[in-house]
A and B are shown apart, each in its own frame.
Chain A
Amino acid sequence: MDPVKIIEIKKSVFEDNDADAGRLRKELKEKGVYLLNLMSSPGSGKTTTLIRTLNLLKDNLRIAVMEADIDSDVDAVKIKEATGIPSIQLHTGGMCHLDAEMTRQGLAGVEMDNLDLVVLENVGNLVCPAEFDTGACRNAMILSVPEGHDKPLKYPLMFSVCDVVVINKIDVLPYFDFDLDKCKEYIHMRNPKAQVIPICAKTGEGVEAFAQWILEEVKNWKQH
């Protein structure tokens, strides 16, 4: 039998994706297009929040939405009907996250040159999307009150990669043991720079603050 030969590799599995994501971010910068990666658990109200927020922004910005799901196109249809904003559905084919290459393919499906803002609604999941850099300019996540204020302790990576955390469904705060101050404290333990914006997507409370945050971000991205 031949002796075993060893080829040393010593390479992180995420290395290629991270490099590709960096290239994509640079391309977006050159084109002046701001890509926001929106993440959350299933059922946190991502799509409802988006509809409210985009309706506030659509007169000021040229926007497109990419909806990533394992299957179906219900979210893309809902966004298009409720906002009139072009929205495409990306199917991940069973994968639990999007990577930079899939994001790039999605961007080829929207007319990027005529846009200011592209929102990528990632697969509903707090684990995997945090590990794969999509090439987005910023990461945002939505945490809803029924999920509990201890989520930042259970999913530390997700909270450490997010620049803004939107806390949704604050209208049901009286019915849940959700401690907003504790939640903010846990988020800042993982990421001291994260902005926290409490909202209710159903009534619209607080949504303006999130829209304002996005508007400022897009402006800064285009200027610098």
Chain B
Amino acid sequence: MHELGIVFYIIRDVKKAAQEHGVEHVNAVVMNIGEVSTVVPEYLTDCWRWAADKEDVLRGCELKCNILPAVTTCNACGKEYPTVQHGIRCPYCGSEDTVLKCGNEVEIKELEV
């Protein structure tokens, strides 16, 4: 539900980068989206199409989403496990003293120009 807001942030950053590099048109924007980032890639690309086509430098520009896996580290036993499958409880020792190692990224990786 907050994908449109995020799209506005992406557009602002991409326009700035395009200007800095003297680029007149961007063909694609590649995003890194973590599995537990709360961003729904389909909604993000829908909002992107609507908003990007209003900008000359981004008209027809594609938004590509790389999905990055979420991994949690257990503080009790030190092992790592996939977050989406097991949540906060470590599948090895049952501890809930766990921290997300990665998987909440919402990051602009690169531009194709």
Per-residue interface assignment for chain B, residues 1 to 23, with 1 indicating a CB less than 8 Å from any chain A CB and 0 otherwise: 11011100110111001000101
Contacts known (A10-B107, A10-B108, A157-B38); A5 close to B2, Cβ less than 8 A: no
A97 proximity list for chain B (CB < 8 A): 2, 5
Are the C-beta atoms of B5 and A128 separated by less than 8 Å? yes
Q: Can you list 14 contacts pairing A with B, beta carbon distance less than 8 Å? A: A6-B110, A7-B113, A8-B109, A8-B110, A9-B17, A9-B108, A11-B107, A12-B105, A13-B6, A13-B108, A96-B1, A127-B38, A128-B5, A153-B88
Chain B interface, DSSP helix/strand/loop, else mixed: mixed
B4: min CB distance to chain A, Å: 7
Cα distance A11–B14 when bound, in Å? 10
Chain A interface, DSSP helix/strand/loop, else mixed: mixed
- Select the residue from A95, A99, A131, A157 with max chain B CB neighbours within 10 A: A131
Per-residue interface assignment for chain A, residues 17 to 29, with 1 indicating a CB less than 8 Å from any chain B CB and 0 otherwise: 1000000000000
Which A residue's beta carbon lies closest to that of B111?
A7
Are the C-beta atoms of B38 and A12 separated by less than 8 Å? no
Residues 21 to 59 of chain B near chain A (Cβ within 8 Å): 21, 23, 27, 38
Cα distance A13–B112 when bound, in Å? 18
B65 proximity list for chain A (CB < 8 A): none
Interface membership of B71, Cβ < 8 A: no
B interface, CB within 8 angstroms of A:
1-2, 4-6, 9-10, 12-14, 17, 21, 23, 27, 38, 88, 96, 105-113
Of the candidates B1, B5, B110, the one whose C-beta lies within 8 Å of that of A7 is B110
Cα distance A99–B13 when bound, in Å? 16
Interface membership of A42, Cβ < 8 A: no
Cα distance A131–B13 when bound, in Å? 18
Interface membership of A176, Cβ < 8 A: no
